[in-house]
Amino acid sequence: MRFALLFLATASGLLAESAPPPDLTPVRKWIARQRTIESIESDFSQTRSLRTLRSPAVAQGKFWFRAPSSFRWQIGDPPKTIALGDGKEIQIIQPARRLVERSPIGRIGQKAGAQGFGMMSFPFADDFDDFQRRFEVLSIRTDGGRCHLDLLPRDAQARRFLAKVALDFDADSGKLLAFEIVTREGSSMRTDFRNTRVNSPLDPALFRYDFAGYQIRDAR
């Protein structure tokens, strides 16, 4: 029995060592393609699943991005929540409450982003080396022009509550098709994009907001 266990352990180790690393060519291509994108305008559906909810909660929204780092997310029409970012700070705006919460932009996987608004930064990484420094790839598969990627941030704090981050993208066009954040406690938030327009002119006013009469505070 000891010999059999030793043999199995050794064989398992050899199999693990001989397993080829995943082919990340689609990821490299996707990240490189993102550098050619100057603007994005897209509709999205956001599905939030919680262990305490019998059925998922679905919300509709819009997303805008302007290079190099300005973005706007909003949910609802008229908007119930708006998020503005400039690469350094994010402002979460609640028009009904006349409230703005400000916080530094963190990388994907931080708890505020995962359990709060469900956003991700764009471009996803500065380059392929930056991607490899920040993320561990769990699996990758392709279906035609669509690529599905499961990964985890290498940040130890994020890994304590994240089970995985899933991305669907088109490597040729650089378009992000969907992303999902799944927590270890069993909740998830998935965002599916549609009607995506790339490199169309955007009104600069989209990335500004009049805070007159609003309470502004730092996010907890």
In this predicted model, what pLDDT tens digit does every residue of 67-85 receive, in sequence order?
Answer: 988 999 999 999 999 999 8
Closest CA to 179 of 188, 197, 195, 192: 192
CA atoms of 156 and 154, how far apart (whole Å):
6
Note whether residue 139 is domain-resident.
yes
- Cβ(190)–Cβ(47) under 8 Å? yes
Indicate whether 16 pLDDT > 60.
no
| pLDDT, tens digit (0-9, with 9 covering 90-100), for 92-101 | 999 999 999 9
User: What per-residue confidence (pLDDT) applies to 52?
Assistant: 77
| Domains of the chain: total | 1
| Rounded Cα distance, 148 and 171, in Å | 10
Tokens of 106: 């963190």
Residue 119 confidence (pLDDT)? 63
The answer as to whether 213 is a domain residue is no
Give domain status of residue 127, yes or no.
Answer: yes
User: 219 lies in a domain?
Assistant: no
Mean pLDDT computed over 193-218 = 95
Confidence of residue 145 (pLDDT cuts 50, 70, 90): confident
Contact 147, 160 (CB under 8 A): no
Under DSSP, the state recorded for 27 is H
Give the mean pLDDT of the chain.
84
* 96 domain-assigned: yes
Output the domain CATH number for residue 133: 2.50.20.10
| pLDDT tens-digit map of 51-64 | 777 889 999 999 99
Asked whether the bond before 21 is cis by omega within 30 degrees of 0, the reply is no
Asked if residue 209 is part of any domain, the answer here is: no
Compute CA 97 distance to the chain's CA centroid, rounded to the nearest angstrom. Answer: 27
Residue 164 lies in a domain: yes
Beta bridge partners of 183: 162
> Which has the minimum average pLDDT: 10-24, 126-140, 203-217?
10-24
Distance of alpha carbon 216 from alpha carbon 70, whole angstroms? 20
Any domain includes 208: no
| Residues sharing a CB contact under 8 Å with residue 52, sequence separation 6 or more, in sequence order | none
| Contact yes or no for 91/83 (Cβ under 8 A) | yes
Give me the domain span that covers residue 188: 21-197
